[in-house]
Amino acid sequence: MTEVYLVDTNIWLERLLDQTRSEEVGSFLDRVPAERLYLTDFTLHSIGIILVKLDEAEVLLHFVRDVLTDGGVRLAGVQPEEMISVIKAATDYKLDFDDAYQYATAVKFGFEIVSFDADFDRTERKRKSPSEIEPQE
């Protein structure tokens, strides 16, 4: 079975802000076809908040165009009536709201979580770092 991945906010920001593990993220993005990658609407908005605050609005527009509009990565999320799953994840696993939202989305759609955030290791789904993802046929 081909895995589908929910790429956490910190993975995208690592690459966008050219941080220490940027090359690891770049290699992951090169290995895994875009149609197997998702990000949440929460991630998109979080990246927008951070990049605009850093006066990098053009980087945000470039990201949206390259990754979502032209790149084939898709958005996912929970609906308002499903918010109970976010609260349950936050309570059950002692997650912050943003991590709980990512986790609830991953559970809803059956995604594997790709993140540098060790908080996901307390959950049933765990997480993988970009370097742990192997290319699949």
41 close to 75: Cβ distance less than 8 angstroms: yes
Q: State the pTM of this model.
A: 0.94
Q: For residue range 34-65, what is the model confidence (pLDDT) as tens digits?
A: 999 999 999 999 999 999 999 999 999 999 99
- Alpha-carbon distance of 105 to 29, in angstroms, equals 20
97 CB-side CA count, 13 A:
4
Q: For residue range 72-114, what is the model confidence (pLDDT) as tens digits?
A: 999 999 999 999 999 999 999 999 999 999 999 999 999 999 9
Report if residue 137 sits inside a domain: no
Report if residue 18 sits inside a domain: yes
Count of structural domains within the chain: 1
Burial class from Cβ neighbours inside 10 Å (0-12, 13-18, 19+) for residue 84 reads exposed
In 3-state terms the chain splits into helix, strand, coil percentages (rounded to 5) of 60, 10, 30
- Here the CATH number for the domain that contains residue 79 is 3.40.50.1010
Report if residue 78 sits inside a domain: yes
